[in-house]
Structure 1
Amino acid sequence: MDSPEISQAMDALRRRLVPGARTILGITGAPGSGKSTFAAWIQQQFGPATAVVVPMDGFHLGNAIIEGTPLRQRKGAIDTFDAGGYLSLLRRLARRDEAVVYAPEFRRTLDEPVAASIAVPAEIPLVITEGNYLLAEQEPWKEVRAQLDEVWFVDTPQELRLRRLAARHASFGMDQAAAEAWAAGPDENNARLVQATRPAADRIIPWN
């Protein structure tokens, strides 16, 4: 975790946090880039009384919605998320006028989102949200970006990303051939869209 880019980003983030205000930090990057790991690491640097992670993946459309449709073979694509629901949650988090806001979480063991799994009390000053499409130009994703104070792009070598993705899919039940095919197919299609948003990031975070 020791790089000049990360050190500079973390120093600036610490300076940004002021009493009585909330910062919402977006962490984006292509599938397999390490967004979740990086977001969790940032939270650990501040501690649970200061920071909470709210993943975009909690807004995956449920399997009951996508089963039997073409979306099932593209799960993880931009149109397989409840973007409006995610935007509504971010607006609630930005307003900070509720004692606690509950966010959903995606459980990979279930392959489903689970509602109200993450508590965000009003006194938490730093919310870290991570996901693929935080810088997408499509509506309503453009409004998602407007709720975020900064967005950092996690930049990871492609070969490493693909290995991580295949290993992740295999760990949740896919055979190795299917895991590699999904990583190189649907995941890579999504990666190209995410990679195109890289220039809009506030910071580029090299990661490996």
Structure 2
Amino acid sequence: MDSPEITEAMDALRRRLVPGTRTILGIAGTPGSGKSTFATWIQQQFGPGTAVVVPMDGFHLGNAVIEGTPLRRRKGAIDTFDAGGYLSLLRRLVRRDEPVVYAPEFRRTLDEPVAASIAVPADIPLVITEGNYLLADQEPWKEVRAQLDEVWFVDTPQELRLHRLVARHVSFGMDPAAAVAWAAGPDEANALLIQATRPAADRIIPWEQELE
């Protein structure tokens, strides 16, 4: 599973975890790149009570907000997230002045974010946050990047990425034709924006696992 790039990155990450401090690691990448799987894999490399994954997807705008608007047809685009809410959460995680911070989680089975689903105690030394737009250079995303100690960009072959996307959409209820159209339409438009942020990453991580 490990590549030389992953081995080097993980060795450096372990050296960063100094007792009494917190590291916030960002995992960025295009839709279907494997961010969620990779973030979970990183978490699993550490002992209990060491790492928590806090996805950016918990800040999707709710369907009640976007239904009946042009945003509904572009769900997943950069302007369909509560960027200010995500930034506020990251600032709280950086400060570590609360016994526990609760983060939202996006439930694909509901197609909605669910509040206060992920607990992050103050003594957790590693927070891994994964999402599409961690390296975007517009406001307030610039401030999101400023809260992160490092951002790694997950690099996945295009064919594999699109295969994953279509399979994921079908598994959550889209018919195959609609899944292909969404992957080639809104998802691909978002991917082009995200791919343009790749040079700003601290590390480029090749990741070709089959499931996200």
Give the TM-score, by structure 1 length. Answer: 0.99
How many aligned positions are there? 208
Structure 1 residue 47: Cα displacement: 3.1
* Residue 33 (str. 1) matches residue 33 (str. 2): yes
Map 1:19-98 → 2, pairs under 5 A? 19-98=19-98
Q: Among the aligned pairs, what percent are the same residue?
A: 89
**Corresponding position of 2:176:** 176
Q: Structure 2: where are the runs of 5+ without partners?
A: none
Q: SS at the partner of 1:46?
A: coil
- Equivalent in the alignment of 1:106: 106
Deviations 1:90-117 (A, max 9, x none): 0000000000000000000000000000
What is residue 136 of structure 1 aligned with on the other side?
Answer: 136
Structure 1: where are the runs of 5+ without partners? none
Match of 1:157 in 2: 157
Partner Cα distance (2:202, 2:109) in 1: 33
Q: Could you say which residue in structure 1 is the equivalent of 2:193?
A: 193
SS in 2 for 1:118: strand
Determine the C-alpha separation between the residues in 1 that align with 2:126 and 2:102. Answer: 15
Once residues 46 and 185 of structure 1 are traced to their aligned partners in structure 2, the CA distance between those partners, rounded to angstroms, is 38
Q: CA deviation at 1:48?
A: 3.4
Are residue 127 (structure 1) and residue 102 (structure 2) matched? no
Shift of 1:56: 0.0
Cα distance in 2, alignment partners of residues 134 and 10 from structure 1: 20
Which residue identity lines up with residue 112 of structure 1 in the other structure? E
Mapped partners of 1:88, 1:49: distance in 2: 23
**Amino acid corresponding to residue 178 of structure 1 in structure 2:** A
The one-letter amino acid paired with 2:65 is I
**Any idea what SS the aligned residue of 1:32 has?**
coil
Deviations 1:159-188 (A, max 9, x none): 110010000000000000000110010000
Quote the offset at 1:207 in angstroms. Answer: 1.2
Aligned equivalents of 1:120 and 1:52: distance in 2?
A: 7
| Separation in 2, partners of 1:178, 1:97 | 46
> In the aligned structure 1, how far is the partner of 2:185 from the partner of 2:160?
16
- Partner residue, 2:6: 6
- TM score, norm. by length of structure 2: 0.98
Q: Which amino acid aligns with 1:187?
A: D
Deviations 1:41-94 (A, max 9, x none): 000001331000000000000000000000000000000000000000000000
The two structures, once aligned, show a CA RMSD in angstroms of: 0.5
| CA distance in structure 2 between the partners assigned to 1:181 and 1:9 by the alignment | 36
Deviation at 1:2, TM superposition (A): 1.3
The secondary structure found in structure 2 opposite 1:116 is strand
